[in-house]
Structure 1
């Protein structure tokens, strides 16, 4: 009785239960063996999602198992559905076939019969056969890549995760390869598009950096698609992605962008290119800056808050000594200085040093002037409106997450039913495959549940802190009085509550107030 080992392989995991897949190969091999009275199947090897062209023989575990089995005389016949299941590389697969035959193993295919190496012609035919398979794989790869490229350029989605600001929808058009599926495309998502617009507004018009934008979004209750807080890296990717003006990137090593697609455009081109210019300037500034002498704290009241109006760099603390007339005493004169213009003359820098005492006084007086226009009732109304918007946003996020959780629950129930079928042999999947899928679903459910719980707690706190607006209003009302009696460190703390950044230029000051104040005092801070 000849001992038969069967090898089944598919190049994509999706083929495990599709036409021309592993179950079909298995049935054909069993039927073939039934026609050989002196054959019996003693082992079956499975390769799921393994490309016979992309992966070499040495990278495939089942090929190693075949070699070991042949050396130890564990089987007499290797049976495959077709010889391309062994592999599609013309420089490797014939060598594998020769190895098996030389060790006494018969190599058979259900569709193509037995492979032999008894003559030079047999060896040549083997090589030609696998050379053809290799060529077909390369042609298929080229056709698939070109088809995907053309569909992607037309706006159709080719897999992966949609960038923030977009969603994936099915079209009426049938899929080019699988007629049971419909072609998908990217379209702007109404809610997420507003977040994208806000991010670019904060970056270009409010002079915020990546971290400040992320902090602002998180503080205002915004969350990304999976309910998590925004990370700095996410903001960085968004501000450099040309898809928001209709130019989708190619997912290839060569890079580049696809032709303009009007349906994908979310932002005005001018806003995107303004952000690009700012990014390039800031990258250049970061490379040029010598940060070794920038103090963590300083004698100046606005240390860490003052920036150069001409290049956007954070100003450093600088000082010089001034001697008394009798030259017995020296007094330190503190100044703000732009680190990118140390004694050099740049056309964009009309000034690079600002007297600390003079400009601290000017800024404090301007703040007092701004706060003198403060009216309690309008501010309270604006604050309550902002609170209501935050509550609404968190409620929408929780509702979205709960819907996703329900969908996962349904998938869990279906998988449990399918496991029951697998145990009695009525499923195309093995219990192991289904258990792995179920484990993934349950992990996602746990994550969604934790996010829902976290956001629910945040929502409860948001509803309970309406008094915060009244408290801040009272703080603003009495800010000037507190500032007058505060010591140096306390004064810095009071300033940081009001000011996000101060931009200094030649005979000009621009104050950027913290979020929550800037909109209320719009038009009163320059």
Structure 2
């Protein structure tokens, strides 16, 4: 090809958006890279810059080439012979991952494209990967770039930690509920509550603590009101929890609330997982929620999280803490929303004139917050009427429970499950043996590649991917086999625990009648899943918590009872 026909492309990349737009002599910004590449092209007779690819705010250390769209565009155009030479400012603009860097170069070379770094050496440096020595050099370059990025991340993290230990804001986007302080009156914590988002955060805590709603109900309520997140998306249960769990709403800056999982993923810590979190002193100008209320909310979330991780624990937080007996169980039969306590005043005539009387009732949260257009049910239900009817139905179920029939039914269901699990285990054993053979076959081919790469039908990348895929399949089947084995043991424990509960069910009712209201609420959580209350009556969904009722802490609850004969429904 004649020199006059050399078509060049340029790839620019910076890790932050700030580098993309500033022109700082001390940093490799996009303007600096573009100027250096264009100057290099002008110095080469007959060379022409035909296209430019720009990656703004993309870390080549955290992101693999597969998720870098601009780099994939450059590779696709190279394969289509759209240019002859790819110019980069430095070699690490391609990748900062030691294993990936030489692979990317090899692909460009396969497509007939030369890659030149214009700033690594005077006059430019061609990044070849022809022979074994060149490949070794490219690997060392990638390893050096990866090590540099790793050390940089350590230095940045340490600097941010030092700032956090001094109680200073470490930067980034302001969390939901806040915006940057344009006046700059608080240098250590340059944030102020956002006039739009701040009240939304306060409403979350009001609904959670005062109305007794859970985060799923709060999510649904905010979305129905048309209140969206800052990015315009609808709220999710996880996003609600992340906002509420941030100590900044109580006036404390927090550093370390997330931790790294792998190279490019982070995971948020739980409501009470603050062992490695650095908290600042309380800044009064940041407070949206009093610290005591925030702590109360975190205690409740932590209690719920423990119940989710341990299914043998009580599942109803509001069922334990609500002011009425059925708070946490009661839901509206018309809209599905929760029912919470409400003090209602009525006036009655007396000889001395009208007198105001108060009584407690269950009120539909949807009716109270959004109005009758969102729920066609009744707004309130008398506490005395509802609780008398529900307890009467519960007592009838316990007194007329046929113990022998229940045990026989449990045994029948256990045998059906055991047969299904045995059949499934046989299928898994067959699939597992096949998956293990396939994994070994790919391992053998990979070994052959290392010995005789020139005779292999597959590249090293394809073989490695096939080995990983087969290994993941084997691991998944082995996990399912272990789970089936545990389920067989659970069935035996379930029957023993059911028999133990049925033997003492009459004593349970006597204990319930003699208990204090708070203890009665805790006892109900062992038998009742939900009470649906509507205009035409009520429905009780029973759920026996055998771990608590029988004393066998290792037995899981009988989930089938929630859907079969043991979920007795009273209307």
TM-score bucket (shorter structure): 0.3 to 0.5
- Output the TM-score relative to the length of structure 2: 0.43
Question: Which one has the largest radius of gyration?
Answer: 1
